[in-house]
Homo-oligomer: A and B are copies of this chain.
Amino acid sequence: MLVRARESVPRDTITEPGARKAHIRWLITREDGAPTFAMREVEVAPGGHTPYHSHPWEHEIYVLEGVGIIACKGGWETTLGPGSVVFIPGGDEHNIKNYGRETLRFLCLIPHPPA
C-alpha cells in the first residue's frame, strides 16, 4: 500500500502547445504498481487553460476547487466548480479554462496506455 500527500508529488508544467499557466502532478502511476489507470491532479492559474485537443483515451475528472469552463466540439461550453464530475469519452475535443480569480484544481484520471 502506498500513502502520500499530494504536496509531496512534484508539480510539472504542462508544456503541450495550447496549454497556459497549467501544471500537473502525477499522483498514482504505473511505476507505483497501479495496473489499470493513473491519477493526476491539474492546477490552472487564473487566466490559464489546458490545451484544446482530443486523444483516443477517456478522462474522468473531479473538480476540487476553483471555477472553470469546459469547452468541447461544436462550441458547447458549461461551467465547473467544486464537486463537478466530468466524463470525456476518447476522441472528444475538449479544454478547460480557469474562469475565476483563484487557482482551478481538479483530478484527471486516465487509463494507462498499452504497455
Instruction: Please report A residues at the B interface, Cβ cutoff 8 Å.
Output: 1-7, 9, 27-28, 32-37, 39, 58, 60, 62, 64, 70, 72, 76, 78, 80, 83-90, 92, 94, 107, 109, 111
Copies of this protein, total:
2
Inter-chain CA distance A70–B2, complex, in Å, is: 11
Residue in chain B with minimal CB distance to A88: B1
Inter-chain CA distance A9–B89, complex, in Å, is: 20
Q: A1-B94, A3-B80, A70-B3 are in contact. Are A85 and B37 (CB under 8 A)?
A: no
Contact in complex: A5, B85 (CB < 8 Å)? yes
Known: A34-B58, A109-B109. 16 other contacts (CB 8 A): A1-B70, A1-B76, A1-B87, A1-B88, A1-B89, A1-B92, A2-B85, A5-B85, A9-B85, A32-B87, A33-B87, A33-B89, A34-B60, A34-B87, A36-B58, A37-B109
